[in-house]
Structure 1
Amino acid sequence: MDAADIRYCYLGAARAFLDLVEHVPEAAWTRPALGEWDVRALTGHTSRALSTVETYLSTPASGDRLDGPVAYFLAIRGGVLPEAIAARGREAGEALGQDPAAAVRKLVDRVTELVAKTPDDAPVATAAGAMTLIDYLPTRSFELAVHGLDLARAIGLPPPDTLSPAIAASLELAGAIGARLPSAPDLLLLLTGRSGLPGNLSVV
């Protein structure tokens, strides 16, 4: 994908996430959503796909530079305990306050404006190492796509159409990551309906 497509995916995924959050019924914020998370915690965790862009752009980047989103995901793979991720999601959900939709709307507006005026090669100080903004954004679109689908399922809505480009890009990224793992043969068999997927679901 070129830089314009990467930015388009991220913007669409951010707006799709906001659309879903704005349709969460008031009584649904405590509804079970994903693992230990309720809808509020899942929303909080997903909002980090926006807030980390803001935070990492304002942090001096140092150390070895990661050469792209695949390298990023391989670097963080298994590096954070699930318990820590779960706790951080709950904390982020609580930080959204009494009106989570309003908080997410402000965050989306602020971060998408920041991304629009920031050069592709701006340094980003991620938890895995230094990257350029344009290399980091696909990792955030991936998070917004996957957890956007989680949120849509939790509140019983179809995913917004604006999420579709990020879903397509995330499938490509997932394949590129999977190809680098020892489990690559098993993943290919899984995706081609050989095992584990319901209803003979397959990409072919």
Structure 2
Amino acid sequence: MRTRTYNPARTRTAVLAQLGAVREAVRTLTPGQLALPTRLGDWTVRELVAHIGMAVTAIGRSLDRPEPARQDTVLLDWPFATAANSAAIAEFTRGLVERHPDLDAYLADVERDLVARLDAHPGSRILETNAGALPLADYLVTRAVELVVHTDDLNAAVPGLEVPHDRQALAAATRLLADALAVKAPGGSTEVRVPPYAVVQCVEGTRHTRGTPPNVVETDPLTWIRLATGRLAWADAVADAKVSASGERADLGGLLPLMS
């Protein structure tokens, strides 16, 4: 599989746009809405919002550490490294909630700090991350994924909120997670289509080269992201016609989720 590249300027714009959309929505939330449960264990909406800010400030925390001597991992390793840090993330998030009761002010500070950090450091600057040493430009793509995923969590938790997804951020999240599937299940027997953003070949077997593939999976970007992150079960998505899957190798249930 050819390594996909991401335009750093577009990624920056996408991350800031998605963060801005979240901040605008959070400004409207009432105390009752902030206390609503989410689909993330025992987290309330307040804790979810604090975690969204935390995901962005991870860039600053990495920049504050000494720069690694060299890159030792690649962007596509990141989706598979997230689950190992879940306990530490939960503890850090609870601390943020206590320290930042004014979430609008907190997100405003997060946004200002992000802009300043990105202005001060080139995309080639190597960061120590939970997945290994990555360039800042690559790590920023993972922040787009985090923002898209948790914007969807926020919308699911607060009826009628409907925070919009930035198109470029949604595209980056869709593509990275589709490529991660191709890494997890290398092969060419199954084509996974997530229009309009991604098409990947995966699953071991006879490689398809021309005409209609014998095994095809197709879904929309948000459904794909929910499947890839464990928000939606494969069987439920198929039963609800959120996914179309044809062919004997089109069942991806055993390969999902990719990250959780």
| TM-score normalised per structure 2 | 0.67
CA distance in 1, matches of 2:32, 2:236: 34
Structure 1 segments unaligned to the other structure (5+ residues):
none
2:93 is aligned to: 89
8 Å contact kept, 1:44–1:91 = no
Q: C-alpha distance in 2, partners of 1:140/1:191?
A: 27
- 1:49-74 deviation line (CA, Å, top 9, x unaligned): 21111111121132652453212223
Match of 1:102 in 2: 105
1:22 aligns with 2:10: no
- How far off is 1:18 after superposition? 1.4
Which of the residues 236, 241, 246 maps onto 1:200?
A: 241
- Residue number in structure 1 paired with 2:203: none
Distance verdict in 2 for CA 1:187–1:18, change over 3 Å:
farther
Whole-Å separation in 1 of the counterparts to 2:186 and 2:25? 34
Read off the aligned partner of 2:44 and give its amino acid letter: D
Q: What does 1:38-77 correspond to in 2, within 5 Å? A: 38-62=44-68, 65-74=71-80, 76-77=81-82
Q: Report 1 or 2 for greater relative contact order, CA contacts < 8 Å, sequence distance ≥ 6.
A: 1
Give the match's secondary structure for 2:133: strand
Quote the Cα distance in structure 1 between the aligned partners of 2:50 and 2:10. 26
* Structure showing greater Rg: 2
Q: Distance in 1 between matches of 2:70 and 2:107?
A: 32
User: Structure 2 CA distance, aligned partners of 1:199 and 1:172?
Assistant: 23
Task: Report the residue type matching 1:105 in the other structure.
Answer: A
Return 5+ residue gaps in structure 2 as ranges: 1-5, 193-214, 220-233, 246-260
The alignment partner of 1:88 has SS state of helix
Q: Aligned partners of 2:120, 2:16: CA distance in 1, in Å?
A: 13
Q: Give the RMSD, CA atoms, in angstroms.
A: 2.9
- List aligned pairs for 1:128-147, cutoff 5 A: 128-147=131-150
Which of 8, 14, 19 is 2:13 aligned to?
A: 8
**Which range moves more in the overlay, 177-186 or 33-42?**
177-186
Tell me what 1:31 maps to: 36
Query: What is the TM-score when the length of structure 1 is the normalising length?
Result: 0.83
Q: Deviations over 1:122-146 (max 9, x none)?
A: 2212133221110110011100110
* Percent identical residues: 23
